[in-house]
Amino acid sequence: MTDALGWRRKFGVIAPSTNTIVEPDFYRMAVPGVTAHFSRIHIRDQNMDGDAGMERLLEQIRAEIGAACERVMTCEPDYMVMGMSAETFWGGVEGNRAFVRQVEGITGLAVATGAEACERALRLFGARRIGVVTPYQPVGDANVRAFFTEIGFEVGEIVGLRCPTAVSIAHVGEDRLRDALRGLAATGVDAIVQCGTNLSMVRLADEAERWLGLPVVAINAATWWMALRDNGVEDRVPGAGRLLREF
């Protein structure tokens, strides 16, 4: 039997309980016959002020992710999508691979991660030197830099917004993000990547690509694009950047 609404694919999505952006982002990029079903990682202490705070946040995610995966499996999804990004960059390339192996081992399903989605997008655009904007603390930015450097990209400036709590990431406004994008574009990059799934960037990235003349990879759009394309869903989605509009 085929699901009445998810007749093409059902995606199981894992996201932190503090995240208010990734779920509506995925819904607004939805295509007919594909549904997203969220399971929340319980974040009991959302303080991420400083490197130690961010490390504690990641420790909570690691402790809870297994249960979150098991819960979403009860709706019998076809594929897994990570609606969080920091953990997919942590530890560089091998850290991402270990994370994917963990989720695949629990669920038996293939998985889209923000790190791999951004890599695919940058290679598609032929980028070599990139700029990055994140909501992270310095330790998070260092892991992002390590991941992209290990896979062969030159990482220029990283604008780390150093959000003090997990929820406050969603409070960052467009003016601040627009300034960050313009500053990164002025450093002579081939593309800009935005990390942090609770940072609202999909619509702004779509607009910024036009006035900057550069690919701007919003991580929620890239992850959704990877999930769709991995499952043979080729629908184009307007208003979410070049990836989903053209590829």
Enter the tokens of residue 168.
């406050």
Q: Could you identify the residue written with the tokens 């081939």?
A: 190
Which of 44, 42, 40, 31 shows the shortest CA–CA distance to 13? 40
Sheet of 9-16, strand order: 34-41, 9-16, 79-82, 111-112
Q: What is the pLDDT along the chain (247 residues), one digit of tens a residue?
A: 799 999 999 999 999 999 999 999 999 999 999 999 999 999 999 999 999 999 999 999 999 999 999 999 999 999 999 999 999 999 999 999 999 999 999 999 999 999 999 999 999 999 999 999 999 999 999 999 999 999 999 999 999 999 999 999 999 999 999 999 999 999 999 999 999 999 999 999 999 999 999 999 999 999 999 999 999 999 999 999 999 999 9
Enter the tokens of residue 162.
């150093």
For residues 57 and 110, what is the distance between their CA atoms, to the nearest angstrom?
25
Say what the pLDDT of residue 118 is.
Answer: 97
Q: CB 95: neighbour CB atoms within 10 A?
A: 18
Say what the pLDDT of residue 84 is.
Answer: 94
Say what the pLDDT of residue 6 is.
Answer: 98
Say what the pLDDT of residue 235 is.
Answer: 98
Say what the pLDDT of residue 137 is.
Answer: 96
Burial of 202 from C-beta contacts in 10 A (0-12 / 13-18 / 19+) = buried
What single-letter amino acid sits at 147?
Answer: F
Say what the pLDDT of residue 120 is.
Answer: 98
Helices (H) and strands (E) counted in the chain, each on its own, are 10, 8
Q: Residues near 186 by Cβ (< 8 Å), separated by ≥ 6?
A: none
Phi, psi of 160 (to 5 degrees): -95, 120
For residues 93 and 90, what is the distance between their CA atoms, to the nearest angstrom?
8
Considering only the C-alpha atoms of the chain, give the largest distance between any 2 of them, rounded to a whole number of Å.
53
Q: Count of residues for the chain?
A: 247
